[in-house]
C-alpha cells in the first residue's frame, strides 16, 4: 500500500480521515495490519509529506500512533509527550500540520494506566516533571465523583481523570489556537478525543468531544437523513 501523496490528501475530508483512523485501529486489534513496503514508502516520501491526520498522544512506549492506527510512513503527524499535555509547542505543531501541511484531522489520544496521569493524581514533584504534571492537575481537581482513595492506587480514579484530561485538552486546543478553531468552524478539519486501552489495543472514541469533521455537503446529507 502506498503512502498518501498530495492528490490523495487533497481528496480527503475530515470525516473520511476519521473513518480511516477507526478502520486502522480495527485492523490493529484484529491483527489484520496492511502489508506495507516501508522502503518503498521511504522513497515515496523523499520529496515531501502529506499526512492525513495529526495525533497528540503520550510518550508511553505502548502507544505508537502509527501502529495503533495501522498507518505507514508519511501518513500521520505523531506528536508525543508524557501525558499528552497541550502546550504552545504542541499548538504550533498542530497549526503547522493542518494549516501548512494539509492534515484533515486532530486526535488527542489518552491511554489507560498512564504514568503521567498517576503522577498527577499523587501530586508528584520532581524537577522539570513537576511543571508537566501541573498541566494535568486541573483534571484531577475537576474529578469529583470519586470521594475516597483519590490516588494512583485507584484504577477507577485514574481512568476518570484520564478521560477528563483528554476532554480538557481538546477544549484547550480550540480555545488557545484561533487558527485551529477557525479551521474547525469552517469544516476544514475535525478534532476528537480518544482513549487507548493498553490491555486490548482498542481505541475508544469520545464522541462528545467531536468538533467539526463534516463538510457542508456532508452536513446537508446528515440533516436530510435526520428529517427523512
Q: How far is CA 85 from CA 14, 33, 52, 54, 144, in A?
A: 23, 29, 22, 14, 21
pLDDT at position 62, please? 95
pTM, two decimals, is: 0.89
Check whether 216 has a pLDDT greater than 50.
no
> pLDDT per residue over 136-148, tens digit each?
999 999 999 999 9
- Asked if 72 and 102 count as a contact pair (C-beta separation under 8 A), the reply is no
Q: What is the pLDDT at residue 213?
A: 57
The residue among 6 and 205 whose pLDDT is bigger is: 205
Cα 7 vs. chain centroid, distance in angstroms? 24
Q: What Cα–Cα distance (Å) separates residue 55 from each residue in 47, 94, 143? A: 22, 9, 25
Structure confidence by residue, pLDDT tens digits, 21-53: 999 999 999 999 888 877 777 877 787 888 999
Class of domain 6-227 (CATH, top level): alpha beta
Q: Is 9 left (phi over 0), alpha (psi -120 to 50) or beta?
A: alpha
> Which of the 8 DSSP states describes residue 52?
S
The candidate with the shortest Cα–Cα distance to 26, out of 205, 202, 197, 194, is 202
Q: Indicate whether 152 pLDDT > 70.
A: yes
What is the average pLDDT value for the chain, to the nearest integer? 91
Residue among 54, 75, 59, 172 nearest 110 (CA)? 59
Residue 215's pLDDT band (cuts 50, 70, 90) = very low
Q: How confident is the model at residue 204 (pLDDT cuts 50, 70, 90)?
A: very high
Sequence spans of domains, the chain: 6-227
Residue 116, CB-side half-sphere exposure with 13 Å CA sphere? 27
At 192, give phi and psi (nearest 5°). Answer: -155, 155
Measured between alpha carbons, how far is residue 214 from residues 69, 99, 178, 182 in Å?
A: 21, 17, 19, 14
99/41 Cα distance (integer angstroms): 24
pLDDT digits (tens, 9 = 90+) for 74-98: 899 999 999 999 999 999 999 999 9
Amino acid at each position: 500500500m502506498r503512502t498518501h501523496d498530495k492528490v490523495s490528501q487533497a481528496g480527503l475530508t475530515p470525516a473520511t480521515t476519521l473513518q480511516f483512523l477507526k478502520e486502522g485501529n480495527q485492523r490493529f486489534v484484529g491483527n489484520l495490519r496492511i502489508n506495507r513496503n516501508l522502503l518503498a514508502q521511504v522513497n515515496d516520501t523523499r520529496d515531501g509529506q502529506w499526512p492525513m491526520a495529526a495525533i497528540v498522544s503520550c510518550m508511553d512506549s505502548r502507544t505508537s500512533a502509527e501502529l495503533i492506527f495501522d498507518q505507514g510512513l508519511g501518513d500521520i503527524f505523531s506528536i508525543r509527550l508524557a501525558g499528552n499535555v497541550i502546550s504552545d509547542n504542541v499548538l504550533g505543531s498542530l497549526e503547522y500540520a493542518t494549516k501548512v501541511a494539509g492534515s484533515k484531522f486532530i486526535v488527542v489520544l489518552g491511554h489507560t494506566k498512564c504514568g503521567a496521569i498517576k503522577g498527577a493524581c499523587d501530586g508528584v514533584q520532581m524537577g522539570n516533571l513537576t511543571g508537566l504534571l501541573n498541566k494535568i492537575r486541573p483534571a484531577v481537581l475537576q474529578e469529583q465523583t470519586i470521594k475516597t482513595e483519590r490516588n494512583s492506587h485507584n484504577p477507577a480514579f485514574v481512568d476518570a481523570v484520564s478521560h477528563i484530561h483528554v476532554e480538557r485538552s481538546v477544549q484547550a486546543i480550540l480555545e488557545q489556537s484561533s487558527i485551529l478553531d477557525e479551521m474547525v468552524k469552517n469544516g476544514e478539519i475535525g478534532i476528537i478525543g480518544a482513549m487507548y486501552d493498553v490491555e486490548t489495543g482498542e481505541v475508544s472514541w469520545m464522541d462528545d468531544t467531536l468538533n467539526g469533521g463534516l463538510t457542508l455537503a456532508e452536513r446537508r446529507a446528515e440533516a436530510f437523513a435526520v428529517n427523512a
